[in-house]
Structure 1
C-alpha cells in the first residue's frame, strides 16, 4: 500500500508549519527573528514555545524530553526527563517550561574535556539551539542543544560550528556589500554529506570479536572474489538490502532528513545514501541522526550497519563526501559560475577565497578528518590522498590562468554529446570531467570535500572550512575596500591575479593516486600528513591558533583541549584494537591452528600406519607451516603486551599524549600488521569448520 510521502515527511519535526499553527503570531515572529538574525531569545517567547512544543509532542505520543547534544566523544548524548509534574492532589500534569527548554544541566564530568576541567568539576550546561528543529524519536522530544562547561568553555562539536557560521556570515556579507550587493543580509554555508556504509548479517557479526569491539576486522583472509569485477557498483539492489533502504528512507523522511539517493557502492556489501543540501548546522545534526538510524534500522532487518572507515582489508573502505556551498538570504549560490565565469566578479572573488583558504589551511583541513580509522583509507587507491589539493576542472583553471596572464578568456563552446545511436537524445556536455582522486573538487556550483571518514561527525571539517574562508574573505576585504568608485572590477582583477600566483600550487587536476603526484606535491611545498599523530601536531601551530582564536571559533584553551582529546582518542582506539587482536589470537585463532594441525598429523600417521610406502610430504609441509605460524603468532602476543605496557607508561608518566600516539603508530601498528599477515596466510590453509569466526566470503556475500 502506497504512503502519502509529503504527509509523512517532517511529521515528527517541530518545524515552521507546526510553529505557525501552535504559536501566537507575535511569539512566532519573535522566534523567527531569533532563528534568522541570531537575536536574543526573551524568556516569554521561550515559555510560549515550550508550551506549544510540549503540546505538540504529547499529541504525537511523547512522554519525555531530552536535550540532545554532540560531546567530543564523536557520538551524540541525551538525558531523558518526563513531562510529568506532581500536583497537590496526588495526580500529575504534563508540564514543560521555557527555562527547561533553553537550559539543561547534564553531568559534564565524564565527557572528554582535554584538561579543561577536573573530574570533580561536574556541572555543565546544554543550551537550546533554535536554528535546528526539535523532533520526536522513540516517544521522546529531542531538543538540539549546544554543550558547555560551568565556566563557559565549549565541550561539544556544535558550538564551534555555530561560531564558524557566524564568522563566515559576517565576512561574506561585508564582501558582498563591497561588491554592491546591499540586498544580501545573511550568508549560510550549506552542506550535503554523502554517507557510505556496509551491511553484514547480524548472526555472523556477533561471532566476530573484532567487528563488535573495533568496527573492523583485524584478521581475515581475502575472499576468492572481491570488487575486481566492478559488478557491485550501481548494481541491482538485493531484496534484503532494498527493504532495509526503503524503511530507512521512511524513518529519515519523518525527521525531515532529505534522503535523496541510494545505491550499491564499489565493494561487496557496501552502499551509499546521499541527502539534499541543508544549512550546515542542520546538516550536521541530520548526519548524526542518519548514522544512528542506519544502525537501528539494520537491526530490524537482522543486519548490522558498519560505519568504520576500513571494515575489511583488501577492498574499499567507507568515507563521506562533504558537499559545501554558500547561499545568500536572497537564494543566490555564491559558487555558481554562471554562463560566463570569467566575467562573474562575485563568483571569482568567492572562488579565489576558497582556493586561498584551502592553501593556507590545508593542514587544518587534514586535521579535521584525522582519526585512526581514516588513516587506513587516505592515500590508498580508493580514497583521496592525505595531500590536500583542489580540482577545478579545465574551464575554471583556464579562467584563472587567463586572469594571471592578463589575457582575454574566450567563452567555451557548448558541445552537444552524440553517442552514436540516433534513438538516444543529444545533451550538452559538461565543461569539465570529474576527478575522483581529488580531496577537494569543484563540481559545478559547490566544492566536494572527499577526505572525511564514514563514522566521523561532519562538524569539524565544516567548522574549519567556514573559518578558513572567513579569514580569506576578511583579507580580501582589506585589499578591496580602498578601491576607487567605479574601479572595483579592475581591483578584483588585480587581487585575483596576485592571489592565484601565490596559491596556485594547491591546484591539481591530475591523478592523485600516483607516486609522481606525491613527489610533485613535495616540490610545491604542500603538506603530506599521512598519519593522525603527524597531522595533529599541526593543530597547535601558531598559524592555526591565530585563525581559530581571532575569529572566535575557539579559545586557546579549547584548542589545546581538543588536541589532547583527539590524541587520546587515537591512542585508546589503537589500544582497544591491540587488546582485541591479542584476545582473538589467543582464545580463537591459535586453538584453531593447533586443532587443525593435530588432526592433519593424526591423519598422516594413520596413513603411514596403514601403508608405510605412502608419502605424507604434503601433510608434513602443512603441519610445519601451521606450526611456524603458531610460534610466530604466540611470540607476537608477547610483543603486543610489551608495547601496551610501554604506551601506558607514557600516559601515566611524564611523557605527553603525543608520545603515546607516536608509540601506537611506530611500534604497535607494525606489530599488528605483521601478525595479521601471518594469521591471514594461515587462515587460508584452514577449513572453515575449524575457524571460530565467519570468513570474508561469508561476511561480504551473505546479505
Structure 2
C-alpha cells in the first residue's frame, strides 16, 4: 500500500501539467504598489503631519503621537481602496516566526449601522493575547496582557491572499511590565546604541555634519523545494522539517552540475511568482540561482536598513512557503533537510553608514590611509574577538547544529577573514605604522575579444564564518530558517561597545596632547595587539586550524547549541547588553530560557518521529519483505535450489539492532529529572541525538536491502530529482 502511494506520487509529479508563466509586468508598474510609502503619505497627509512622520522615519526623531489620527485615516483609506476589510499589527515573537492579530475596520453605530473606522489610538497601540508566546519566565501563564506598538520606521503594507486583503502594520511586542517579548525591540535599541557610539567617533575624527548612522542588511536566503506529493508522504518532513531517514542516492551533488545551472522551468515559474509578490511589497529581490545541492535554490536582495530588511526577510520566508504551495511544492527552510548533501544557510551581509559619510566600512582605494574605515573595521575586530561566543550563540539552533562545522558551512569557531589587502594593512598597524595597501590589479584573460577588467585586491574565503567582502561583513553562520534580527542585534551591540571603547581611548590620547593621526594609530595598535588573534585567512575547515584556534589563540569551539546557548547567561555578556542598553539582564535570561526550550523540544519531536516511523513504517515493511523472501527461499529449496539465504539473514540482522536501538531511544526519552536547562540540553545532544543516529544507521542500511516495492517512504532519489 505504501509503495503504491509512492508510485502515485511519482506519477502525479511527472504527469503534472506545467503551469504557464505569466507575462512579467514592468518593474516600475509593480514596485511597492502594496506599500504605504512616503510618497503615498505625502499625497494623502497634511503638510505638517507628513513632515513630522518623515522626520521620524529618516532621522530617528521622536514620534509625535498627535499626528497618528491623520496617519491612521489616510492609511485606512488607502488600504480599503485596495480591498482591505481587516488590519493586523504584525510582530515577531521569540519563535523565528511572524505573528499577527486581525481586526476589522468595522464600527457599529448606535442605530445599528456600521462604518469603517481606524483611529490613531488603534494604529499606535494594540493588545494581542500574549499568554501563549514564548517568554522565558518574563510572565506567569495567567498574566496574558501584551502590547503591540507601531514601528513608524518600517512601512505598513497590504497582504493579498486568495481569501482577501489585510492591512499589515509592523509593530514591537512588549509585556504589560514593559519588557521586550519580541525580536524587533532589541534590534531598534541596538541600532540606536550603535548610532550614538558611531556619531561620537565620527565627530572625534573632525566631522561636524553627521547624519544618523544606521546598520544595513542583505540576507541571502537558501531553501529547498520538494514536490508536495512527496513531502506529504514523509511524516518527518511535515513535522520536523528534515528527513530523519533516507539513504543517499547514487548521484548527489558530486558532479557540481546543479550549482548555477539552468533553473528548471517549473521552479522558474515559482520564482517569478515569488519575485512579483516581493516587488509589490517593496522587497528588492536581486539574485536567484540554483544552489549546490539538487533541489536547492537561493534568492538574495539588495541592502536595506537593518530594521526594514529584517521585516522583509520575515516576509520573504512567508512568501516562499505560501507560494510554494500554490505551485505544488513544499519549501524547506531547515538547515539540513537531507543528510549527505549541502545544507541551507542565510548569509547576512552587514554594514553601517549614513547619508553624510557614506558606507563606514568602505576601505576606498587606499585603506591604509583611511582612518575612518580603519577605526570602524578595528572596532569590528575587537568586538568579534571579545564577543565571538555571543555570535555563535545567536545562530545556535537544533537545526543549525547539523550544518555548522561541516565542509559546506563555516566552522563553529568564530573567526574573521579580512582578505590579503586588509590583513596586510592591519599587520602593518600591529608592527608600527600602516604605509601601503596592495593594489587591486587587473585580470588579463589572454583572449583579444575578452575585456581586461579590474579584480578585487583579495579573494573570498567561504570557510570563514565572518568574512569581509569589499565594503561589508558577511556573517555566514546564520541558519536558513532563522530570523536575522538576533544576529543583527549581536553585531550592532558589539560594534556599539567597541566604538564606545575607541571613543574613550581616542579622547584619552588626545587629552595627553597626541595629534589625531597618532592617536588613531595608537588605538588601532592596541586593538590588534589584544584582539588580532581573531583574524584568520586560511582554511577554516582543516583540523590544524581548529587545534591552533583553540590551543594557541584561545578561540572557543562551541560545537553544539548545548555548548553555545549558555553564553547568553555569562556575566560578561549580561554586562555588555546592559551597558549598551539593548537588553536588561531579565530580558537576556528570558531569551536563553526560550531558545533552550526550543532546542530541547525540537530534538524531542524528532526523537518521537524516529521511534514512530521506525516502528510503524520501516519495521513492518522490512518484515513483509523478509517474509516474502523467506517464502521464496523455501520454495526454491523445495525444488533443489539453494539461494537467497544470505540476503534474508542480512535483512534480519539489520531489523533486530534497529529495534534494539529504538527501545534504547524510547527509554532515554523518559528521563525528565534535570537540574537545569543546561543539563537537559547536554542530555539531548549527547544521548538522544546519537541514539537517533544509531536507529537511522540501521534503517538506512535496510533501505539498501529491502525491495523497492516494499519501501514505505519517498526516497532521496525521488524527492531530489523528480520535479
- Cα pair distance change 1:16/1:323, threshold 3 Å: same
Q: Distance in 2 between matches of 1:495 and 1:40?
A: 35
Q: Distance in 2 between matches of 1:672 and 1:411?
A: 52
Write out per-residue CA displacement over residues 93-121 of structure 1, whole angstroms, 9 at most, x where no aligned residue.
Answer: 11000010010011111111111110000
Partner of 2:87: 65
Partner of 1:294: 320
Residue 677 (structure 2) pairs with residue 649 (structure 1): no
Write out per-residue CA displacement over residues 267-326 of structure 1, whole angstroms, 9 at most, x where no aligned residue.
Answer: 000000000000110111000000010001111110010000000000010001100001
**Which residue of 491, 502, 516 corresponds with 2:519?**
491
Write out per-residue CA displacement over residues 520-562 of structure 1, whole angstroms, 9 at most, x where no aligned residue.
Answer: 1012100100000111111111110000011111111111111
Partner of 1:76: 98
Partner of 2:368: 342
Partner of 2:686: 666
Residue 693 (structure 2) pairs with residue 694 (structure 1): no
Partner of 2:151: 129
Q: Distance in 1 between matches of 2:437 and 2:194?
A: 32
- Cα pair distance change 1:476/1:97, threshold 3 Å: same
Partner of 2:271: 245
Residue 146 (structure 2) pairs with residue 119 (structure 1): no
Residue 655 (structure 2) pairs with residue 627 (structure 1): no
Residue 17 (structure 2) pairs with residue 29 (structure 1): no
**Which residue of 535, 542, 566 corresponds with 2:571?**
542
Q: Distance in 2 between matches of 1:645 and 1:608?
A: 46
**Which residue of 353, 371, 385 corresponds with 1:359?**
385
**Which residue of 274, 283, 301 corresponds with 2:300?**
274
Partner of 2:8: none
**Which residue of 642, 646, 652 corresponds with 1:615?**
642
Q: What is the deviation of 1:408?
A: 5.3
Alignment of 1:210-221 (within 5 A): 210-221=236-247
Q: Distance in 1 between matches of 2:685 and 2:149?
A: 38
Q: Distance in 2 between matches of 1:414 and 1:87?
A: 71
Q: Distance in 2 between matches of 1:54 and 1:35?
A: 20
Q: What is the deviation of 1:626?
A: 1.3
Match of 1:452, SS state, is coil
Q: What is the deviation of 1:90?
A: 2.1
Partner of 2:536: 508
Residue 616 (structure 2) pairs with residue 596 (structure 1): no
Write out per-residue CA displacement over residues 222-250 of structure 1, whole angstroms, 9 at most, x where no aligned residue.
Answer: 01100000000000011001111111100
Residue 480 (structure 2) pairs with residue 451 (structure 1): no
Match of 1:372, SS state, is coil
- Cα pair distance change 1:191/1:682, threshold 3 Å: same
Alignment of 1:249-398 (within 5 A): 249-330=275-356, 332-398=358-424
Q: What is the deviation of 1:89?
A: 3.0
Alpha-carbon contact 2:422-2:437 (below 8 Å) kept? no
Alpha-carbon contact 2:651-2:706 (below 8 Å) kept? no
Q: Distance in 1 between matches of 2:258 and 2:558?
A: 32
Partner of 2:661: 636
Alpha-carbon contact 1:103-1:128 (below 8 Å) kept? yes
Q: What is the deviation of 1:38?
A: 3.2
Q: What is the deviation of 1:22?
A: 1.1
Q: Distance in 1 between matches of 2:642 and 2:588?
A: 69
Compute the TM-score of the two structures, normalised by the length of structure 1.
0.97
Compute the TM-score of the two structures, normalised by the length of structure 2.
0.95
Match of 1:181, SS state, is coil
Match of 1:154, SS state, is coil
Q: Distance in 2 between matches of 1:183 and 1:591?
A: 74
Q: Distance in 2 between matches of 1:470 and 1:278?
A: 20
Q: What is the deviation of 1:407?
A: 4.7
Alpha-carbon contact 1:688-1:695 (below 8 Å) kept? no
Q: What is the deviation of 1:615?
A: 2.1
Structure 1 gaps of 5+ residues are none
Partner of 2:558: 529
Q: What is the deviation of 1:405?
A: 1.5
Partner of 2:18: none
Residue 707 (structure 2) pairs with residue 679 (structure 1): no
Q: Distance in 1 between matches of 2:568 and 2:240?
A: 26
- The root-mean-square deviation of aligned C-alpha atoms, in Å, is 1.1
Partner of 2:36: 14
**Which residue of 549, 557, 581 corresponds with 1:552?**
581
Write out per-residue CA displacement over residues 92-150 of structure 1, whole angstroms, 9 at most, x where no aligned residue.
Answer: 11100001001001111111111111000010100110010011013000000000111
Alpha-carbon contact 2:313-2:483 (below 8 Å) kept? yes
Partner of 2:590: 561
**Which residue of 467, 475, 478 corresponds with 1:441?**
467
Alignment of 1:38-49 (within 5 A): 38-49=60-71
Alpha-carbon contact 1:536-1:567 (below 8 Å) kept? yes
- Cα pair distance change 1:414/1:67, threshold 3 Å: closer
Structure 2 gaps of 5+ residues are 1-22
Write out per-residue CA displacement over residues 303-360 of structure 1, whole angstroms, 9 at most, x where no aligned residue.
Answer: 0100000000000100011000011132600000011100000000001000001001
Q: Distance in 1 between matches of 2:305 and 2:84?
A: 27
Q: What is the deviation of 1:687?
A: 2.4
The aligned length equals 694
Q: What is the deviation of 1:374?
A: 0.3
Q: Which moved more, 1:216-225 or 1:410-419?
A: 410-419
Alpha-carbon contact 2:366-2:436 (below 8 Å) kept? no
Alpha-carbon contact 2:421-2:437 (below 8 Å) kept? no
Match of 1:547, SS state, is helix
